[in-house]
């Protein structure tokens, strides 16, 4: 029997319990032993739960789990950062295998926890931290051993993708789409991490560190969200026969890389353009294997629980990368040299609006100019992103009064 300590019994924790129960007989035949959830860490013993769990299995004391020598694997799905990190580190130090879905912990402490697991000869697996049910981490580790990974690209946040899909399909403004997504349970009460790109940045940091075999820090990834997008932007984008997605993109060549999270305007019939609502799509390119794409549910109880239990089975069957290493290739970040074509919309008073139009015409950086009342929208030639920052700074435009999207058309 393999005994598991489960930290958290929310949406994902409940999904884990249900899958183990539903597949109990099959899993026992597959791995030759029973998977038993012997103890579950919860915060409130009196809370009503959607599934029946014997009270003896529940505890509010982590030490009851980490100190139990019969528990082989600890699954962390409690969320949060500091407390979860302390528990994961303690579990590894006590000689437990650890599986987590916690992207915040993995993004911040990936190297430390990977090295600690290796030192203790235990597994630290986190498939569910990126892409929900999409099996991307294991595949990327395997292909990074055989290939030089040249590019990683993805729609990595279901909330932002749902918002943009609804805005494109129904001509909603941002606030309307956000309110709808919160009502349907896609967006949190505080959606900052999703709409400002921070969630995508964490996931891209994890993927690039694995794929590029170097520590790519969160702060080295340029990050721009979608909260300032307006209905006029959606109308302008649709007039180009395009759609818009929040993409994480990283490219590596000659030991130099750039990594960005930003809204990207793409053709609606492109393979990223066809990914709608809360689904995710991640692709990476290896110099030997070419491009591989992974599509599926990016979150949710069962997809995430499925990814977690895939890690658990790999541990039981000893089918994980025991010797996987995070090397240091001393890569150079060249974000400041990144060039692209951009759609820029600003909302300005008339005198400032006229000055900006004169300025961008003098600099000869535009391919197309669209004006409407106080809004000035233009599409640039291929320019450094720094040049856009200079325009925003020169005219002292507040964040809520401009929107920038890179063109991939």
Domain range list for the chain: 2-125, 149-297+331-335, 338-408
Q: What is the pLDDT of residue 54?
A: 84
Q: What is the pLDDT of residue 323?
A: 59
The superfamily CATH assigns to domain 149-297+331-335 is Dihydrodipicolinate Reductase; domain 2 (3.30.360.10)
Q: What is the pLDDT of residue 276?
A: 96
Residue-level pLDDT, tens digit, the chain, 409 residues: 999 999 999 999 999 999 999 999 999 998 999 999 999 999 988 787 778 888 899 999 999 999 999 999 999 999 999 999 999 999 999 999 999 999 999 999 999 999 999 999 999 999 999 999 999 999 999 999 999 999 999 999 999 999 999 999 999 999 999 999 999 888 899 999 999 999 999 999 999 999 999 999 999 999 999 999 999 999 999 999 999 999 999 999 999 999 999 999 999 999 999 999 999 999 999 999 999 999 999 888 999 999 999 999 999 999 987 756 677 778 999 999 999 999 999 998 878 888 999 999 998 999 999 888 889 999 999 999 889 999 999 999 999 999 999 999 8
Query: pTM for this one?
Result: 0.95
The CATH number assigned to the domain with range 338-408 reads 3.30.70.790
Considering the domain delimited by 2-125, tell me its CATH architecture: 3-Layer(aba) Sandwich (3.40)
Name the active-site residue from 108, 122, 203, 213: 203
Assess whether 103 carries a catalytic annotation.
no
Q: What is the pLDDT of residue 325?
A: 66
Dist. CA 248–CA 205, nearest whole Å: 9
Q: Same fold for the domain at 2-125 and the one at 149-297+331-335?
A: no
- The 3-class SS string of the chain reads CEEEEEECCCHHHHHHHHHHHHCHHHHHHHHCCCEEEEEEECCCCCCCCCCCCCHHHEECCHHHHHCCCCEEEEEECCCCCHHHHHHHHHHHHCCCEEEECCHHHHHHHHHHHHHHHHHCCCCEECHHHCCCCCCCHHHHHHHHHHCCEEEEEEECCHHHHHHHHHHHHHCCCHHHHHHHHHHCCCCCCCCHHHHCCHHHHHHHHHHHHHHHCCCCCHHHCEECCCCCCCHHHHHHHHHCCEEEEEEEEEEEECCEEEEEEEEEEEECCCCCCCCCCCEEEEEEEECCCEEEEEEEECCCHHHHHHHHHHHHHHHHCCCCCCCCCCCCCCCEECHHHCEEEEEEEEECCHHHHHHHHHHHHHHCCEEEEEEECCEEEEEECCEEHHHHHHHHHHCCCCHHHEEEEEEEC
């Amino acid at each position: 029997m393999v005994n598991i300590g489960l930290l958290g019994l929310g949406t994902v924790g409940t999904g884990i319990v249900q899958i183990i129960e539903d597949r109990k007989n099959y899993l026992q035949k597959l791995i030759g032993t029973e998977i038993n959830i012997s103890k579950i860490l919860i915060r409130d013993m009196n809370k009503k739960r959607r599934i029946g769990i014997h009270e003896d299995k529940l505890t509010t004391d982590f030490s009851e789990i980490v100190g139990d020598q019969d528990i082989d694997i600890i699954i962390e799905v409690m969320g949060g950062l500091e407390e979860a990190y302390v528990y994961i580190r303690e579990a590894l130090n006590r000689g437990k295998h650890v599986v987590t879905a916690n992207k915040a912990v993995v993004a911040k402490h990936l190297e430390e926890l990977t090295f600690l697991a290796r030192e203790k000869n235990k597994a630290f697996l986190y498939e569910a931290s990126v892409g929900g049910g999409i099996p991307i981490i294991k595949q990327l580790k395997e292909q990074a051993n055989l290939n030089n990974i040249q590019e990683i690209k993805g729609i990595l946040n279901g909330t932002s993708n749902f918002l943009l899909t609804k805005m494109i399909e129904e001509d909603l403004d941002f606030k309307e789409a956000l309110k709808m997504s919160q009502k349907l349970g896609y967006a949190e009460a505080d959606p900052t991490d999703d709409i400002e790109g921070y969630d995508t940045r964490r996931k891209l940091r994890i993927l690039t560190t694995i794929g590029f075999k170097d520590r790519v820090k969160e702060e080295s990834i340029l990050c721009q969200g979608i909260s300032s997008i307006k209905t006029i932007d959606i109308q302008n984008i649709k007039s180009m026969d395009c759609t818009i997605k929040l993409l994480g993109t990283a490219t590596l060549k000659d030991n130099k890389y750039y990594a960005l999270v930003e809204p990207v305007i793409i053709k609606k019939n492109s393979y990223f353009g066809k990914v709608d609502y809360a689904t995710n799509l991640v692709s990476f390119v290896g110099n030997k294997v070419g491009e591989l794409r992974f599509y599926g549910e990016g979150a949710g109880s069962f997809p995430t629980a499925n990814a977690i239990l895939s890690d658990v089975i790999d541990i039981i069957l000893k089918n994980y990368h025991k010797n996987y290493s995070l090397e240091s290739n001393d890569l150079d970040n060249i974000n400041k040299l990144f060039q692209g074509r951009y759609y820029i919309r600003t909302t300005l008073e008339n005198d400032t609006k006229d000055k900006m139009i004169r300025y961008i015409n003098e600099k000869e950086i535009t391919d197309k100019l669209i004006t409407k009342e106080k809004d000035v929208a233009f599409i640039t030639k291929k320019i450094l992103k720094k040049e856009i920052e200079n325009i925003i700074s020169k005219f002292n435009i507040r964040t809520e009064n401009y929107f920038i999207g890179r063109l991939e058309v």
